[in-house]
Amino acid sequence: MKKLFVGVFSLLLLTGFMVSCGSSGSGSSSGATPEVVIVFPTKSSVNVPTNVKVTASFDIVMNASSVSAASFTLKGPGGATVAGTAKLSNDGLSAVFSPSAILAAFTKYTATLTTDIQGLEGAPLAADYAWSFTTGATPDTTAPTVLSTVPADGAIAVALDTNVTATFSESMDPLTINSTSITLKIGSAPVVGAVTAPLATAVTFDPTAPLAPNTVYTATIKTLVKDVAGNAMVAEKTWNFTTRVLSALGPSPINLGLAGTYAILAESGISTVPLSSVTGNLGISPAASTSITGFSLIHDVGSETATSTQVNGLVYASDYTVPTPANLITAVANRQTAYATAAALPSPTATELYSGNLSGKTLAPGLYKWGTDVLINDDLTLAGNDNDVWVFQIAGNVTMAANKNVTLSGTALPKNVFWQVAGGTGVTINAGSNFVGIVMTATQINMGTGASIVGRLLAKTAVNIQSSTVTEPAP
């Protein structure tokens, strides 16, 4: 049976990262009214497997005692109540209704969360939350698999605050995601931490201490993990990575989250004057696929992705099939967080260096800050090693003249160069120029004819390229 949903789960290894993920923690501690952020099956979905569990995720940690078969109900034709149990997930962020029997085929069901459901501090839902879906003909009997991981198995020089992600073949049951089914170890010694699992977004492993430098870690997803239809993984997924050497120069790399899985990610538009060449994925949200122009997208109705002869990767848009919309929401939020993190880094190595004119200069690793525009009218060199980092905080715009280069010397890597640009016209890389690094703008990014970048283009508004080459950096 064809899979209808793809769930993306991330093991985010973040120092000091709280269980309730940023605003969630502060919201629950202040008694904020909880909100439903995503449901599964999604509203009005059809052909839902008959053995599915019904799940809802919240923006704050919830009160486990308030979730029951009385406060989370499922009803079929004529308002008949479906027998089952309701529980809160281990992390307190997802409620799961498990029917006692397989649902009827080709039948419409309505799930309801009542105002008896409360946040951890006692604030209830503002109103009952209800949605409907329609089953298909058969149950889902296919075991889930792990499609990919980041870092990849065997990755080296991994940042101490890296995101470790595992992409599954379908949506998973949050009740099966916990510190027993998801582990991180150094040799045979377990790493102490907490696991959270917002539905269809991320599994998060939160170590109680920073990751050790220059250390081999083993991440394992056990067969205790199941999909929302109750199918267990056939085999464990285990992979290893080695953290970076602590003696790296410059600030720590910026955590991109799921935004780091896109070569181009924009909110309002992505355009090309053919033929361009993009190696990596494209993503747009909240704008729809019609805002991706010039790529001659090939998209099958009901598909989660599209393709293009100009893209060596996949194209994702907010109007494609679930779980693409939810995953893009997460990626855009991660981009916004990465931008804010880069902008807020304190204690720059230098401020207003060369009055913003970097033409012909060589820069060592570090944090550089300008309150003006930055100009690159002649080649710029970044000299350092493979675990060194450059972060550029720029209040104005970045303009690179035609036929110039940003060059890395030594063993410096494009993935460790971050450009945070706040200006109204953003970043302009003129014709024939070669750029490197992760570009994060408050507005747009423009590349001229024959321009190239080894890095990522992550824009608040639009990315416009003209017969350009965009290549995502090696991990």
252 within a domain of the structure (yes/no): no
* Claim to verify: residue 226 and residue 348 sit in the same structural domain: no
Task: Tell me what pLDDT residue 11 has.
Answer: 35
Per-residue pLDDT at 240 exceeds 80? yes
Per-residue pLDDT at 168 exceeds 90? no
Instruction: Provide the percentage of residues in the chain whose pLDDT is more than 70.
Output: 92
* Claim to verify: residue 177 and residue 326 sit in the same structural domain: no
99 within a domain of the structure (yes/no): yes
* Claim to verify: residue 280 and residue 144 sit in the same structural domain: no
Per-residue pLDDT at 106 exceeds 90? yes
Please give the structure tokens belonging to residue 433. 């120029």
* Claim to verify: residue 272 and residue 238 sit in the same structural domain: no
427 within a domain of the structure (yes/no): yes
* Claim to verify: residue 397 and residue 465 sit in the same structural domain: yes
- pLDDT band of residue 149 (cuts 50, 70, 90) is confident
* Claim to verify: residue 339 and residue 308 sit in the same structural domain: yes
Q: Whole-number mean pLDDT of the chain?
A: 90
* Claim to verify: residue 23 and residue 81 sit in the same structural domain: yes
pLDDT digits 0-9 by tens, 176-235: 988 888 888 999 999 888 777 765 656 777 777 778 878 999 999 899 989 999 999 999
> How many structural domains is the chain composed of?
2
pLDDT digits 0-9 by tens, 312-325: 999 999 999 999 99
C-alpha span between 389 and 254 (Å, rounded): 9
C-alpha span between 318 and 329 (Å, rounded): 8
Task: Tell me what pLDDT residue 200 has.
Answer: 62
* Claim to verify: residue 303 and residue 427 sit in the same structural domain: yes
Q: Kindly state the average pLDDT of the residues 292-316.
A: 97
Q: Which residue has the higher pLDDT, 151 or 128?
A: 128
127 within a domain of the structure (yes/no): yes
* Claim to verify: residue 437 and residue 331 sit in the same structural domain: yes
Range scoring the smallest mean pLDDT among 147-156, 196-205, 243-252? 196-205
Q: Which domain holds residue 242?
A: 1-247
Report pTM.
0.53
Range scoring the smallest mean pLDDT among 129-133, 221-225, 275-279? 221-225
Cβ neighbours, 10 Å, residue 385 = 16
* Claim to verify: residue 66 and residue 28 sit in the same structural domain: yes
280 within a domain of the structure (yes/no): yes
Final residue belonging to a domain, choices 222, 247, 272: 247
Task: Tell me what pLDDT residue 199 has.
Answer: 56
Final residue belonging to a domain, choices 247, 277, 311: 247
List the CATH number of the domain containing 117.
2.60.40.1220
Range scoring the smallest mean pLDDT among 4-13, 154-163, 279-288, 354-363? 4-13
* Claim to verify: residue 404 and residue 458 sit in the same structural domain: yes
Final residue belonging to a domain, choices 195, 218, 247: 247
- pLDDT band of residue 26 (cuts 50, 70, 90) is very low
Task: Tell me what pLDDT residue 179 has.
Answer: 87
Range scoring the smallest mean pLDDT among 152-161, 192-201, 351-360? 192-201
* Claim to verify: residue 219 and residue 326 sit in the same structural domain: no
